[in-house]
Amino acid sequence: MKGKEINGQIIKNLAFNGDVVIGNSLIDMYAKWKQSMNLFEKMRVFGIKPNSVTFTTVLASCSHSGLVDDGWRIFESMRSNYRVEPMVGHYACMVDFLGHLGYLKEALELIDKMPEQRAPSVWGALLGACRMHNNVDMGEIAAYRLFELEPKNPINYVALCGIYDSVDRLDGVLRIRSRMRELRKASVA
């Protein structure tokens, strides 16, 4: 594979010393495999300071690979080791990561610790995970937060309706459909 050859040449040749763009490109190339963790560690050993994009890519890699402990460790290291303040995208990645693996409670706790909780992407990640796991209680929390933030976004209503439908909660399905009809009428008027 040409990518691995290029990676080997770059690691051998310290001429790229500190080039974050090259490091990010390599991590992105490996983003769906565990090798990205190895590359991230090599960057650290060579003294290349990861930036915000690096962390997003590595967290996504941990998510794809199901590496919960590594994902947490890297997320926690952003502030403490690298003085990189986690942004909304990092939180959304972690919430998506935790939620898809079934750690819904931990995902909600992470959102509660966020400095800015008005990020639709974070709540949307939690809602998507709740739909995947048919979790009505947490799905309602995420959906109603999204209804406040994005009152006209039909995807949020459809997602909650899907959760209700998956657990045979016809009352919830009817209530959300009614609310959607009201919103449609209000937007037409």
Give this prediction's pTM: 0.79
* Distance in angstroms (rounded) separating the CA atoms of residues 27 and 10: 13
What's the token pair of residue 17? 């010393």
pLDDT of 159 above 50:
yes
Shortest CA distance to 116 belongs to which of 139, 138, 141, 91?
Answer: 91
Rounded Cα distance between 174 and 149, Å, is: 22
Residue 6 has pLDDT above 60, yes or no: no
User: Distance of alpha carbon 178 from its chain centroid, rounded?
Assistant: 31
C-alpha atoms less than 13 angstroms from C-alpha of 33 in its C-beta half-sphere: 8
Q: For residue 50, give the DSSP letter.
A: P
Quote the CA–CA distance of 118 and 3 in Å, as a whole number.
39
Task: Tokens for 126, please give them.
Answer: 């939690």
CB within 8 A of 99, min separation 6: which ones? 107, 125, 126, 128, 129, 130, 132, 133
Closest listed residue to residue 123, CA positions, set 102, 148, 86? 148
The answer to which of 5-14, 30-39, 78-87, 176-185 has the lowest mean pLDDT is 5-14
Taking a C-beta distance cutoff of 8 angstroms, is the pair 72, 105 a contact?
no
Greater pLDDT, 35 or 101: 101
What does the buried/exposed string (b/e) look like for 83-92 if buried means 16 or more CB atoms within 10 Å of the residue's CB? ebebebbbbb
Where does the pLDDT of residue 22 fall: very low under 50, low under 70, confident under 90, or very high at 90 and above?
A: low
Confidence of residue 20 (pLDDT cuts 50, 70, 90): low
The predicted pLDDT at position 189 comes to 67
Q: What is the pLDDT of residues 23-64, one digit of tens each?
A: 555 555 544 576 778 888 888 888 888 989 889 888 888 887
pLDDT recorded at residue 35: 75
